[in-house]
Amino acid sequence: MAGGWIEQFADAPDVLKTAPDQKTIVRAGGVEVGGGEFVTMAGPCSVETERQLMETAEHVAAAGARVLRGGAFKPRSSPYAFQGLGVEGLRLLAKAREATGLAVVTEVMTAADAPLVAEYADILQIGSRSMENFALLEAAALTQRPILLKRGMVATLADLLRSAQCIVSYGNPQVILCERGIRTFETATRNTFDVSALIVLKEICCLPVIADPSHAAGRRAFVPGLARTAVAAGADGLLVEVHPHPEQAWSDGEQSLTFAEFDDMMADLAPWCELRALRSRAVETVA
């Protein structure tokens, strides 16, 4: 690694690799992220109703997802938009976990909510808008639940790793990073999916890295292509929005996959995941 270049990550010493094969495996609800298996986390943007969540959980589990996503506390850009079901949403997520065996990831927005969300979730999600809310990072870390840390939409990789370092410094090394697209001048997609982030992070950082093609794309037609790119780039998993009736979704319907589209995406990813597994087995054999 070029001597000076890596210095930009000097504030994140505990998440930088000290050996090329060093990796942190994050364990949550019977699932291992970063351990070799490509882990798909899927579900609605927001938890809306019991029926919507249960149908989605059952469908994505049958199609191969390992983790159920769904927001109960929603960071909405507009004060008039649906803000989430709150505790009722958390209860529904726990019920869906019981019914399907999926682990649950859901966002925590405030430090005060961290212990409550940790009672229900297997993984606490820190959203893009909160990546540098250091009080929240501390409170989330202290719950000792694994943390899914999403890259801020205007955050550099050094900024992202600094926030990851904070969580680790608070005594919680179980951190998953998530590339979800960044703000650029491009308007054809909601955000610009930064595939370089996956390559760079997998090279220098020991933490698992997943991709969220839904919030990057903003439109469902582009989600499967970005997902395929993420697998090929070496991501450890996906976070993807799925809804039984996207046109009726209370949030992010335009980027949510239908059940049929999710099935097609999973089938399309299968050979890429197999290739990825063969490659990592080959690397392990050489090492």
Sites of contact with Mn ion (CB under 5 A):
45, 252
| Beta bridge mates, 37 | none
CB 216 within 8 A of CB 180: yes
Minimum CB distance to ligand PEP smaller for 174 or for 214? 214
Kindly state whether residue 107 participates in binding ligand PEP, applying the rule CB under 6 A.
yes
Both tokens of 262, joined, read 């999710």
CA distances from residue 274 to 38, 60, 96, 277 in whole angstroms, order as listed: 9, 19, 29, 5
Site map for ligand PEP, 33-62, x if CB under 6 A? ------------x-----------------
Q: How many CA atoms lie within 13 A of 20 on its CB side?
A: 6
Task: Name which of 98, 38, 96, 60 is nearest 243 in CA terms.
Answer: 60
Q: Which does 75 bind (CB under 5 to 8 A by kind): ligand PEP, Mn ion, none?
A: ligand PEP
Q: Which residue is nearest to ligand PEP (CB)?
A: 127
Both tokens of 90, joined, read 């958390």
**Least distance CB 211 / ligand PEP (angstroms):** 11
**Least distance CB 85 / ligand PEP (angstroms):** 14
Task: Name which of 73, 121, 84, 67 is nearest 237 in CA terms.
Answer: 67
**Least distance CB 69 / ligand PEP (angstroms):** 7
Restricted to residues 115-154, the positions that interact with ligand PEP (CB under 6 A) are 127-129, 150
Q: Which of 66, 215, 220, 276 binds ligand PEP (CB under 6 A)?
A: 215
